[in-house]
Amino acid sequence: MNPAITLPDVSSSQRSRGRLQLILILAVVIGPMILATAMYQWRFWVPETRSYHGELIGTGQSRADLGVIGADEQRWQLLVTVPQVCDAGCKELVFLARQVHIGLNRDVSRAAHGLAIAQPLSDDYDAQLRREYPQLARYQLQLEAYAKTASQVEGAQLWIVDPRGNLVLRYDATSKGKSILNDLRHLLKISQID
C-alpha cells in the first residue's frame, strides 16, 4: 500500500515570493542581453574613447584596392603611399616608417616597410634611399585605383597593412611616431596571423 502523497499548503505570500524570485533570476540572466542589444541598435552609452591613434580602415579594402602593384609582403607592413611628387611630408613618412620598424625591437622580423609611388623619385633622393634604406620595398602606385580608394586623403599617407594585405590604419604626415609604434605593437600583440 502506498500512502497518498500530500503536498503542503502553500500560502499566497509564498507563491508570490517564488514568482518574484523567478522574475529576478530571469532579469539577471536576460536583462544584460537585452540591454546590450539595445545599446548596439540605438547607439547609446557607447564609449567615445578608442585605443588607436590613426584612422581605422574597417571597409575590408586591401593593398591591391589601394592601387599598389607588385606588393606580396606576407608580414605586417608600414606602407607609405605617394600619389604626387615626394615632398617633405613624404620624406618624413618614409623616415618615420623605418624608425617605427626599427622600434619594434624583438618583433622587427614580423614587419616590413615599403614605399608606393606614382611618379619617379628625384635622383638624389633615390640614391639616398638605396644607400640609407636598404630594406625599403618599392612598389608602383596606380593613381586611378588610389583615387577610388583614398579619394578623401591628400598627400603622402602611411598605412598599416596586415599580412593578408588588408588595410588596417592610416596616418598622415603630421602623425607622431610614438603613436604609430604603439598601434603597431598592439596589433602585433593581439594578432593571430603572422
DSSP character at residue 163: T
3-class SS letters over 34-90? HHHHHHHHHCCCCCCCCCCCCEECCCCCECCCCCEECCCCCCEEEEEEECCCCCHHH
33 against 2, higher pLDDT:
33
pLDDT > 70: what percent of the chain?
A: 93
pLDDT for residue 163:
93
Q: Report CA-CA distances (Å) from 17 to 9, 29, 149, 175.
A: 15, 19, 62, 61
Q: Which fold has domain 55-190?
A: Glutaredoxin (3.40.30)
> What is the band of 16 on the pLDDT scale with cuts at 50, 70, 90?
confident
Contact assessment for residue 89 and residue 153, using Cβ atoms and an 8 Å cutoff: no
28 against 49, higher pLDDT:
28
Domain segments of the chain: what residues?
12-49, 55-190
> What is the band of 194 on the pLDDT scale with cuts at 50, 70, 90?
low
Is residue 36 predicted with pLDDT exceeding 70? yes
Mean pLDDT of the region 30-55: 83
> What is the band of 8 on the pLDDT scale with cuts at 50, 70, 90?
low
pLDDT digits (tens, 9 = 90+) for 55-93: 888 788 999 999 998 878 889 999 999 998 999 999 999
> What is the band of 9 on the pLDDT scale with cuts at 50, 70, 90?
low
